Chain A
């Protein structure tokens, strides 16, 4: 494992007692003490395989479909009912209980309204991150716990580890994957305060979803399992086929279901009125064309500008008050690049290294870039394309996702 903890292993002092490595046998089917896991099931292959794995590991699995959105949009039928049916079909085949949690109202309030208000401010929010923070790892977690769940699980590509923070220097990573349930079902987490849950990158580099998960709380994380976090996607698919799960062939859902297929702009149009304005070249102030609302454009955007001819234009600036979108052909335009990113709404789980040296990811699946975090700012060695305000910058140290912040 490429963990940053490894370098510190020898020097770490074990001031905090390590949790006892008790025998963790898979309970027998008759056992009434099996820990109960509420698993978010979307009908897709990842959560379906997660259900299979949890069941095989001996958990009492309850499949839950979170109904977050059901509204059809022009040109796109929301597939929630089919997704629900697919999820339920898998649950029935595995012989597990199945529930539907209706979070539609909360999702609208906590995710969609947030998203719209951010866009109205000219920012580019990430609804998936908000959904994980507010819905899947908060509301779902809370309701599941109320209903008697010991743990929750999702089909995300990520892992939960446990780190000992008692030693000086960096925390000691104790284990990097979820283990089989204990017989009493209660003691999944180490009891000691100094042992904290950490979010770890998935084994499948290409699928790692920690970017979307960086804002989930420590408490939720401590009660979360990611059953497929140490699997590669092709193996997940293969397992689904072996288990006869028909949705192994289903089209994959991307990000937020309704935005995935419709596109953010079309979605926003449903809620934000179009307001025609000028597209100007930043260097010359010349009007090159017209747009249908500055709100719909993002800095760095190249496509979808109604400006033709020659080299592509990039959006380099927006003046929301005057409703003007500024563009440039100059790829070196200063607004497009930066080596310093100011952040707000920081959420850091655990401790940052004293040196402030970390790696960052500016969007899902983007490469990790070395950076230094200092007084609310991320400082980079080389300039990068400026991330839009409202976007998230996520911090990593080796395998660990430490948290991150939102671009000011």
Chain B
């Protein structure tokens, strides 16, 4: 099997799996229970939270554990009042949540990078929340969050000067980036940051939301008051333990990962050069997650390519798995101005830790073969 869709899901790392193991049956206790073994689990749970928080330069108390990025994002948006600004290429979890408010979309350029002037223009005195992902989930384009937070800071100053008491918060979805970018919440200047275990070789169904001091959220689930009252429900101990190990591993291997992916990128792009249709590499080469290699082959039906490769046990995705399943064209690819043909012919490829150079060569070769077959089929049709 050659798996090239790490933007969608990553396999659980062996180390993570091993760390989680004791918490399913042996150390199963409810962390809120009063006896010693439960207290011990509480301590380990709190330590795990600290470990997760440390990887983004925060403390355990600053993060709320959730059931994944979507829930983190929904929780983050409880800070919003009436007007929100989000990037037009945000993930559905942001766009759909933003629809509950007066939502304005910020434009991106052809590489998926934020158009800062458009952002400045739209950031008026009524905006209460800005949400911009650190890296896009289809293109891997990395946004200049520090620059964006500077603009936000200036707007806050402006409001203080004008006596405008509307608070302004900055949230970023960093789901895709934890194992490729050295994330530090202070450096990024965010008030809220979503991170996710499932994309960094940790278990699925667990994520976290960093909440800066003084940012007041409203709970979306009610009950026993866990997670500082923001997320009631018995803690998912094994997953949080796993998440902690995954986050630390991501941080530790940051440099190694980068080198690995740089090499794979180079090989893949080189191999695709002589494809029967000229490949259009999408995103921003300079500001792109190194494991992302989205590419469009205009004039072919990418879905057909995927089903062909599936037979060879090569798994990759079209535009975006989420959008694809609803049968709609990717809003991200539309936003960067691709033509319908380019969108239809676009593949989302994201490398992973276990991919070898040989894998990448094989995948590129099979993609080329599949395209050739499709061209032959189309040629036959018109004859």
List residues of A whose CB falls within 8 A of some B CB.
32, 70, 80-82, 84-85, 88-89, 92-93, 95, 97-98
Contact = CB atoms under 8 A, between A and B. Distances in A.
B327 A97 contact: no
Interface string B287-312: 00000000000000001100110110
B161 interface: no
A70 B377 CA distance: 30
A82 B303 CA distance: 13
A82 B304 CA distance: 15
B286 interface: no
B11 to A, nearest CB: 21
B326 interface: yes
Given A95-B377, A97-B381, A84 B307 contact: no
Nearest to A90: B307
Contacts of B326: 81
A85 B317 CA distance: 13
Contacts of B383: 32
A88 B304 contact: yes
When A and B form their complex, which 4 residue pairs have the shortest distance between CB atoms, in order from nearest? A92-B307, A81-B327, A89-B307, A92-B304
Nearest to B311: A93
26 contacts: A32-B383, A70-B327, A80-B327, A81-B324, A81-B325, A81-B326, A81-B327, A82-B325, A84-B327, A85-B303, A85-B324, A85-B325, A88-B303, A88-B304, A88-B307, A89-B307, A89-B310, A92-B303, A92-B304, A92-B308, A93-B307, A93-B311, A95-B377, A97-B377, A97-B381, A98-B304
B303 to A, nearest CB: 6
A88 B324 CA distance: 13
Q: For A32, A70, A88, which residue has the most chain B Cβ atoms within 10 angstroms?
A: A88
- Chain A binding surface, main DSSP class: helix
A85 B306 CA distance: 11
Contacts of B304: 88, 92, 98
Contacts of A88: 303-304, 307
A95 B324 CA distance: 21
A399 B188 CA distance: 75
A31 B381 CA distance: 13
Contacts of B311: 93
Nearest to A95: B377
A88 B318 CA distance: 14
Interface string B321-340: 00011110000000000000
A98 B327 CA distance: 15
Contacts of A92: 303-304, 307-308
B254 to A, nearest CB: 36
A24 to B, nearest CB: 24
Q: For A32, A70, A84, A85, which residue has the most chain B Cβ atoms within 10 angstroms?
A: A85
Contacts of B324: 81, 85
- Chain B binding surface, main DSSP class: helix
A140 B103 CA distance: 41
A81 B303 CA distance: 13
Nearest to A81: B327
Nearest to B377: A95
Nearest to A100: B327
Interface string B354-383: 000000000000000000000001000101
Contacts of A84: 327
A85 B324 CA distance: 9
A98 B374 CA distance: 12
Interface string B219-250: 00000000000000000000000000000000
Contacts of A89: 307, 310
Given A82-B325, A93-B307, A93-B311, 6 more contacts: A70-B327, A81-B325, A88-B307, A89-B307, A92-B307, A98-B304
A36 to B, nearest CB: 11
Contacts of A80: 327
Interface in B254-305: 303-304
A88 B308 CA distance: 11
Contacts of B310: 89
Contacts of B307: 88-89, 92-93
A136 B303 CA distance: 25
A227 B157 CA distance: 73
A70 B324 CA distance: 14
A137 B32 CA distance: 63
A320 to B, nearest CB: 39
A32 B381 CA distance: 10
A172 B316 CA distance: 56
A82 B325 CA distance: 7
A296 B311 CA distance: 48
A130 B325 CA distance: 28
Contacts of B377: 95, 97
A97 B308 CA distance: 13
A89 B381 CA distance: 19
A59 to B, nearest CB: 15
A95 B374 CA distance: 9
Contacts of B303: 85, 88, 92
A15 to B, nearest CB: 45
A77 to B, nearest CB: 10
A243 to B, nearest CB: 12
A81 B329 CA distance: 12
Contacts of A82: 325
Nearest to B381: A97
A107 B297 CA distance: 35
B330 to A, nearest CB: 14
A89 B310 CA distance: 9
A366 B55 CA distance: 66
B51 to A, nearest CB: 37
Nearest to A97: B381
A120 B311 CA distance: 50
A81 B327 CA distance: 6
B316 to A, nearest CB: 14
A93 B324 CA distance: 19
A93 B305 CA distance: 10
B343 to A, nearest CB: 16
A70 B326 CA distance: 9
B130 to A, nearest CB: 31
Nearest to B305: A92
A98 B325 CA distance: 17
B187 to A, nearest CB: 40
A127 to B, nearest CB: 23
Contacts of A95: 377
Q: For A32, A81, A84, A92, which residue has the most chain B Cβ atoms within 10 angstroms?
A: A92
Contacts of A70: 327
Contacts of A32: 383
A88 to B, nearest CB: 6
Interface in B61-106: none
Contacts of A97: 377, 381
B362 to A, nearest CB: 20
B269 to A, nearest CB: 26
B25 to A, nearest CB: 31
A88 B302 CA distance: 12
